[in-house]
């Protein structure tokens, strides 16, 4: 998701390292490699708001590079695999690498986005380089799980240039085609289980629903997600047919997002003291402001909800820890089928 830069300091990076400490991990356990954007980035974008308060206040208790108040999709998947969250690539020289590595970088995408960071292709370059350097062996890679979550920032970038969605159909096809090239490349490096996230309902971002006073998602934009996902599903099916094995599997973020939002909307209607799921917990005071930003006098340019642990969205595009937890619980059955019970 699109994120905006700040200068971090040494103490913040040291704090991030602590959140990747390894306890009682088995050297022979499965490794998790992660590619994509801020929905799965756990600390690679060092000069961003993810290293500023109030990010990280729920977990680990301080800003440590996650774009939310706490755990995100990567953390829940790692926990499901019974391993610690893999180390961010940016911290690879001073952290334990036995759980895999996270190459995801907030704000990036498949094509060039508003953030000048490593896109999916460059992230895979870094992975390939580590394999060539024997940081990870052939058996490490073959027994690993890969998670790829990207695309949201590409559509945000498109929307900022063309709010009328002229040419969106052609854009979706070119984006998915390039995405498929990247997936084939990951497979060529020896990975045998690749989990591909379907695109979340982008019409439900608080950045979008604010125009509707957070009452509902914008279906015209959600249709972009549905069209993207339909094409992804077809490409994944074709790739698996060509290989003769189910190497590529999809994670349905779209429906798990919508289902969770609808459940929480119903609860909100029954009890108005509960938070509206489409409303961000950490909200900008006015246009041009943002969660984590302060003015020249050190005054916050955002407001914070009373109970972050109950919110679905943390800021204008990222789920809160509660949101990710609720989403992951809906995804767990399919994840069990994807990875089997041998981990």
Catalytic residue numbers read 38, 315, 318
Distance CA 283, CA 266 (A): 22
Judging by DSSP bridges, how do beta strands 282-284 and 302-304 pair with one another? Answer: antiparallel
Residue 65 backbone zone (phi > 0: left; psi -120 to 50: alpha; other: beta): left
Contacts of 103 (CB under 8 A, 6+ apart): 33, 34, 35, 44, 89, 118, 123, 124, 126, 127
DSSP assignment of 224-275 equals: HHHHHHHHHHHHHHHHHHHHTS--EEEE-HHHHHHHHHHHHHHHHHH-TTSP
Decide: 205 and 315 in contact? Cβ < 8 Å. no
Chain-centroid distance of CA 227 in Å reads: 20
Sequence-distant (6+) residues with CB within 8 A of 203 are 209, 217, 218, 219, 220, 221, 222, 223, 224, 225
Cα 306 from Cα 304, distance rounded (Å) = 7
DSSP 47-110: TBGGGSTTTTTTTTSS--S-SSSS--HHHHHHHHTTSPPPEEGGGGGGS--TTEEE---TT--S
CA dihedral 128, 27, 36, 138 (to 10 degrees): 30
Calpha distance 276→310 (Å, rounded): 10
CA dihedral defined by 299, 302, 303, 305, rounded to 10 degrees? -130
Closest C-alpha among 71, 45, 50 to residue 59: 71
């Amino acid at each position: 998701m699109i994120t905006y830069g700040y200068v971090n300091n040494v103490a913040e990076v040291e704090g991030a390292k602590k959140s990747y400490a390894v306890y009682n991990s088995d050297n022979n356990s499965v490794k998790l490699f992660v590619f994509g954007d801020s929905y799965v980035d756990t600390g690679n974008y060092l000069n961003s708001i993810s290293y500023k308060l109030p990010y990280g206040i729920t977990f680990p208790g301080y800003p440590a590079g996650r774009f939310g108040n706490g755990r995100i999709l990567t953390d829940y998947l790692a926990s499901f695999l019974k391993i610690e969250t893999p180390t961010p690539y940016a911290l690879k020289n001073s952290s334990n690498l036995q759980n895999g590595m996270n190459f995801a970088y907030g704000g990036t995408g498949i094509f060039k986005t508003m953030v000048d960071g490593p896109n999916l292709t460059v992230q895979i370059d870094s992975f390939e380089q580590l394999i060539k350097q024997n940081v990870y062996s052939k058996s490490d890679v073959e027994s690993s799980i890969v998670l790829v979550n990207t695309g949201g920032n590409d559509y945000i970038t498109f929307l900022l240039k063309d709010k009328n969605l002229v040419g969106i159909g052609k854009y979706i096809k070119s984006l998915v085609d390039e995405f498929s090239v990247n997936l084939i490349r990951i497979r060529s490096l020896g990975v045998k289980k690749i989990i591909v996230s379907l695109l979340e309902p982008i019409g439900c971002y608080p950045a979008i629903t604010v125009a509707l006073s957070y009452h509902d998602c914008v279906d015209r934009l959600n249709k972009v997600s549905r069209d993207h996902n339909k094409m992804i599903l077809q490409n994944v099916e074709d790739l698996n047919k060509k290989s003769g094995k189910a190497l590529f599997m999809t994670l349905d973020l779209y429906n798990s997002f919508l289902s969770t939002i609808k459940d929480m909307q119903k609860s909100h209607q029954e009890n108005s003291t509960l938070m509206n799921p489409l409303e961000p917990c950490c909200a900008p005071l006015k246009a041009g402001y943002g969660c984590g930003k302060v003015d020249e006098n050190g005054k916050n340019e955002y407001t914070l909800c009373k109970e972050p642990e109950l919110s679905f969205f943390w800021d204008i595009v990222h789920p809160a820890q509660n949101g990710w937890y609720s989403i992951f619980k809906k995804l767990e059955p399919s994840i069990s089928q994807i990875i089997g019970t041998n981990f």
